Amino acid sequence: MYCSKCGHENPDDYNFCKNCGHDLSHAKAPHTKSVPNYMAFSIIMIFLCLPFGIAGLVYSLKVDEFLMQGDTEAAKAASDKARKLDIIGLIVLGALICIPFIIALISLIFIVPAIPFNIIVH
Ligand SMILES: [Zn+2]
């Protein structure tokens, strides 16, 4: 890899630049851990919507497992599934919260005007 400070080419296993001593470990870290595991998102979803949170967490854990094995492609696939499960969980949760409001709104629009006015007054 090339040093980000002086541009000197160093062997990939070097943590410090041979030429200027610049710390190269920071440049390496994002490369090996570039796949997000959505762990925090999955844990939040466990509290909000248990089934999707657990499914998301399983894939979040798999991301780290695949990364440790060096299988970046599998880690990316698991990361994608974790994100999708967490988002689907959010949508389902949103729908569950909205349904009573939608029912209330529909009944206000269609049922309330059908009730004779004098029943409400008396
Ligand atoms: Zn350097």
Q: How many A from CA of 9 to the centre of ligand 1?
A: 8
Q: How many A from CA of 8 to the centre of ligand 1?
A: 5
Q: Which residue intervals of the chain are DSSP H helices?
A: 25-32, 39-48, 50-69, 72-106, 117-121
Q: Are 89 and 45 in contact (CB under 8 A)?
A: yes
Q: Looking at the predicted structure, is the pLDDT value of residue 31 above 60?
A: no
Q: Looking at the predicted structure, is the pLDDT value of residue 121 above 80?
A: no
Provide the whole-model pTM. 0.58
Residue 84, CB half-sphere, CA atoms under 13 Å: how many?
Answer: 7
Residue 119 pLDDT: 62
